[in-house]
Amino acid sequence: MSEHTGHRLAVIGAGVMGTNIAALAIGHGVPVVLVDVADEVLATARATVGQKLKHAQLMGVLPAGRARGELVTSTSPSDAADATTVIEAVVEIAETKAKVLTEVAGLVRPGTLLISNTSCIPIDEMAGWVGRGDELVGVHFMNPAYLIKMVEVIRGTATSDATMERVVALLTALGREALVIRDAPGFVINRLLHPLINRAAMLVQEGVASAEVVDGLLQGCLGHATGPLRTADLIGIDNLVDSLNVLHERTGDPECAPCDLMLEKVREGQHGRKTGRGFYDYGKTAR
């Protein structure tokens, strides 16, 4: 186990959030096994985690004098079997999450903390996939996870008191502050944020204002830190479309049906910072 925290973390999914969470954990002395489907994905992920650790160090958000945890990458979910906690951080598609959670729940020992970094899919829906729904909890880390201390913790109806104690202990070891909410599609943050981003994109689509002007108004008038469309580029427009589809299907809210401009950007591969272009052009600075 980690000398400092007693935790061993397995992160399933080496995308934007998976590498964010891995960097957070390693920077706090927690060893991480990062699992994804291909060696080339993991090679990129190792470099990305390194960059994020450097950024965290420059920002002064890592514990002083604490040795970093070890990072191991693997294409085999079985390498997560010895973890004390598994965090699922794959795409927001129910079928994909179900496959991953079902597999990993069958590999780990009873008592292992199971966390989904779901954006919108309810925890109660996922509990039926894992067999031990009492050990499952949602933790919605914000992006970038190593900078934003507040996290949304989603307790399902089956989530046990012991699981809640374990997740709070883990988040405390990672220097995060937890706010616990009841389960619902989209929870609190994304039930508010995703329709806002969608509506902002509609205004650009309709020619009412440019992305820069929409973001500028929300920053200057409402105090939004980056503006909704820069936030969209940071999250990944493809991820947002997946999450909006989940919300639309599960709530029926018409504000959650992805607008044509968002769908067009996904079709054209303009997913935001990770591809170099979304609502803004990032050129060689993306990643």
Report d(CA 256, CA 264) in Å as an integer: 16
Out of 7, 140, 194, 271, pick the active-site residue. Answer: 140
Q: Which residue has the tokens 């920002």?
A: 59
Report d(CA 273, CA 98) in Å as an integer: 28
Smallest Cα–Cα separation from 237: which of 284, 280, 203, 191?
280
Q: Percentage helix, strand, coil, to 5, in the chain?
A: 50, 15, 35
The answer to whether 186 and 251 have CB atoms below 8 angstroms apart is yes
Catalytic site includes residue 140:
yes
Cα distances from 235 to residues 72, 85, 197, 240, 272, in angstroms, run 25, 24, 11, 7, 8
Query: What residue type is assigned to position 139 of the chain?
Result: V
Cα distances from 178 to residues 55, 76, 137, 151, in angstroms, run 23, 31, 12, 5
Number of neighbouring beta carbons within 10 Å of residue 224: 18
Report d(CA 134, CA 147) in Å as an integer: 30
Cite the active site residues: 140
